[in-house]
Amino acid sequence: MRYLLLSTLILLSFSTLISAQKYSNEFLSIGLGARAQGMGSAMTAHVGDATASFWNPAGLCNIKTDLQIGAMHAEWFGGIGKYDYVGFGMPIKGQPRYVGFSFIRFGVDGIPNTLSLYEDDGSVNYSNVTEFSAADYAFLFNYAQKFEKIGLSVGATPKIVYRRVGKFANSWGFGVDLGAQYKLNKHFQFGATLKDITTTFNAWSFNFDSTQRQVLGLTGNEIPIKSFEITKPQIILGAAFNHRFNLNKANPEEGKKQKTMGILTELDMIVSTDGKRNVLLSGNPFSIDPAFGFELDYENIVFLRGGINNFQRFTNIDEASVFSIQPNFGVGFKIYSVRIDYALSNLGGNSGVLPSHIVSLSVDVNYEYFKQAIEKAK
């Protein structure tokens, strides 16, 4: 039964590759960083670290150090699917310009290939079962520029997408994201991201030998041919508010360090352009899905996060209309230049699967600090 189920899933995936244009490259809708996942993916207006390469490339302009490195790991469906990210962001010395790069992989490994499970005489030969991986890769290249006098930052993310299903199928795709952030004052910030503004495409090619084609035909499955997928543009608009509170007495002692607590909130509106979707505001061709997140911090050391997104309406077993939202939770700790974040979120949306444990790491690198440390060591 296990082999039969996995074989069915494989064949269904081939069918999906051919026909599912509306939700192509869905692995690029998951997002980067446990901080973002804990905040319900509401990041467009305030993001300011290496993960900005995904959320809003203009956010790279908020990096304050010489280099920031980020990484993330998450597992989906109880560990079957693995989602990994590594990347960096950095300013160009002496200029109000920033560059970055992110690498993303989402894959399922160790899938049994049962196309050759049966011999010509109908007997089962388990030694013919091999394994393969189905994985999606994305390479994001980032450029951003800050216009300090007017509080505006803009950025662009050209991206290359490579998807592979064992030796059976692979595709290459290309697209571009654009982004902007505007800082009104020390409390309010606004952002906009235009994802897949070029309508990202994937060109698929398939490779089956004669025996595999015969098995697909005998089992009533369509034999895949070369095809294209197109990811239509998506618009994300966001507004963020942040404020810091002084926790000391009204008249603190002279020289005593001020203890502070901060609060950050953001509301995003995600506008899809590919027709009706099961979201809060569904229309054709535009559908709107909101996302809200907040973050509390103490001294920029300890962080508590929460958020809601994926507003959906569905019919339950009693044929009654039910409205659902996806809650998210996260915490974080920053020790010197290292920040560790954790989130509990459902990467599959409101699909009833187990929530995912997401862990990410970011490290700020200051060249002058290392230079001084080397001089002291001498």
AA letter at 146: K
Mean pLDDT for back-to-back runs of 10 residues, the chain (378 residues): 38 39 74 93 94 95 94 82 93 93 91 72 73 89 94 95 86 93 94 90 78 70 73 93 83 68 95 82 85 95 94 72 85 94 78 76 86 71
CATH superfamily of 21-201+231-249+257-377: Outer membrane protein transport protein (OMPP1/FadL/TodX) (2.40.160.60)
Structure tokens at 88: 């960096």
Distance in angstroms (rounded) separating the CA atoms of residues 156 and 192: 12
Structure tokens at 337: 């230049």
The pLDDT, as a whole number, for residue 251 is 57
The pLDDT, as a whole number, for residue 352 is 54
The pLDDT, as a whole number, for residue 345 is 86
The pLDDT, as a whole number, for residue 355 is 78
Hey, CA dihedral for 38, 44, 45, 46, is it positive or negative? positive
The pLDDT, as a whole number, for residue 325 is 85
The pLDDT, as a whole number, for residue 29 is 86
CA angle (155, 360, 153) in 5-degree steps: 15
Distance in angstroms (rounded) separating the CA atoms of residues 74 and 81: 8
The pLDDT, as a whole number, for residue 236 is 96
The pLDDT, as a whole number, for residue 155 is 96
Contact 226, 204 (CB under 8 A): yes
Q: What is the pTM of this model?
A: 0.82
Distance in angstroms (rounded) separating the CA atoms of residues 145 and 60: 8
The pLDDT, as a whole number, for residue 256 is 65
Contact 195, 234 (CB under 8 A): yes
Inter-CA distances, 177 with 20, 82, 192, 299, 306, Å: 22, 24, 11, 34, 27
Scored b (16 or more CB within 10 A) or e, 205-226 reads ebebeeebeebbeeeebeebee
Contact 118, 125 (CB under 8 A): yes
The pLDDT, as a whole number, for residue 22 is 55
- End-to-end CA gap in the chain: 66
